[in-house]
């Protein structure tokens, strides 16, 4: 099959990982263990086990080394932030089955990786997502990247321009999704320590809550009319809108009751698609630790 290298991750380092490494080594494979993806009962046991394995059977690497090892210069590269709405939009290119080199950028570190000299060379705005083609073509801004991908990577998720009404609706919903994205921004003050939330930020959170719920009303109406936001087929408009609504659900939005039954069904419908399963942020199977909607509702006295 042409396989000469195996990469190992799992638990525990002293048993299953070690046994697999030993077997693979004696079968003639180049064995590499991803240190950040291996665990043991205790930190001391992990250190001892990895030291023994690396002495005889395998090379210990970091997951970022793995990214470099697997990098394919013939593929496009996407720089993204896990859980970021703009990045999530672009990662829905999984719907097209497009292979690419993923490059996760961390922004909760100090300094942010988007501020490093290396990243500034990629995007002087110091933001993700960024798409870099193998020929050096570079494009920033999630909406622009989505449209670019839809032109150059078939199949297209935009209706033919010959169908004027379908094309109009898709284009409109695609850009209309930014209304919800903008409306919810003030809620994110809820991530701050309570001592850092002054009266102006409290007002912004309350106003953002109202604007978000009002905007959601439009989308409930749209999804009562069709299965997806621009018709009965999945389109580029869904790539733009779905990450926004799912982000809000992750941050505490409740789509309970008859009032939101169509949006709730829409979220369930898209989340079951293979492309979204692949694109979903790592670690987002559960509701986030910070409930932005609960915080804003308490401030509003609801």
Confidence (pLDDT) at 302: 66
Residues in the chain with pLDDT values less than 70: 1, 63-65, 302
Confidence (pLDDT) at 157: 95
Is 164-300 assigned to CATH 3.40.50.11060? no
Q: How far is CA 23 from CA 3, 53, 59, 230, in A?
A: 15, 12, 15, 53
- The CATH architecture assigned to 77-152 reads 3-Layer(aba) Sandwich (3.40)
CATH number of this structure's domain 5-69? 3.40.50.850
Confidence (pLDDT) at 175: 98
Phi-psi region of 28 (alpha: psi -120 to 50; beta: other; left: phi over 0): left
Task: Kindly report, residue by residue over 94-127, the tens digit of the pLDDT.
Answer: 899 888 999 999 998 888 999 999 999 999 999 9
**Axis crossing angle, helix 261-271 with helix 199-225, rounded to the nearest 10:** 80
- List of residues 6+ apart from 294 with CB closer than 8 A: 252
Confidence (pLDDT) at 64: 64
Confidence (pLDDT) at 259: 96
End-to-end CA distance of the chain: 62
d(CA 91, CA 280): 8
Number of neighbours of residue 179 by Cβ within 10 angstroms = 17
d(CA 142, CA 175): 11
* Domain boundaries of the chain, sorted by first residue: 5-69, 77-152, 164-300
H/E run at residue 248: helix 236-250
């Amino acid at each position: 099959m042409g396989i000469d290298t195996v990469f190992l991750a799992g638990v525990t380092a002293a048993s299953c990982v070690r046994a697999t490494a030993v077997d693979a080594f004696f079968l003639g494979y180049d064995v590499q263990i991803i240190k950040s993806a291996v665990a043991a009962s205790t930190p001391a046991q992990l250190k001892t086990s990895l030291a023994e394995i690396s002495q005889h059977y395998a090379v210990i690497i970091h997951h970022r080394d793995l990214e470099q090892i697997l990098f394919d210069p013939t593929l496009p590269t996407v720089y993204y932030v896990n859980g970021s709405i703009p990045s999530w939009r672009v990662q829905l290119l999984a719907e097209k089955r497009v292979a690419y080199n993923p490059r996760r950028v961390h922004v909760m570190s100090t300094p942010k990786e988007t501020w490093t000299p290396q990243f500034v060379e990629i995007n002087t705005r110091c933001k993700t997502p960024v798409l870099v083609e193998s020929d050096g073509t570079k494009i920033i801004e999630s909406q622009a990247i989505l449209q670019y991908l839809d032109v150059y990577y078939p199949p297209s998720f935009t209706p033919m321009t010959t169908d004027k009404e379908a094309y109009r609706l898709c284009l409109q919903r695609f850009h209309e999704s930014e209304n919800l994205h903008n409306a919810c921004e003030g809620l994110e003050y809820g991530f701050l320590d309570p001592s850092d939330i002054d009266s102006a930020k409290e007002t912004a959170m309350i106003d953002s809550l109202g604007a978000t719920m009002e905007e959601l009303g439009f989308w409930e109406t749209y999804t009562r009319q069709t299965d997806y936001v621009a018709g009965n087929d999945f389109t580029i408009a869904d790539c733009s809108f779905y990450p926004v609504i799912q982000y809000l659900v992750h941050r505490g939005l409740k789509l309970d009751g008859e009032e939101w039954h169509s949006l709730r069904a829409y979220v369930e419908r898209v989340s079951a698609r293979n492309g979204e399963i692949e694109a979903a942020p790592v670690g987002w199977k559960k509701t986030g630790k910070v409930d932005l909607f609960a915080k804003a509702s308490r401030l509003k006295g609801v």
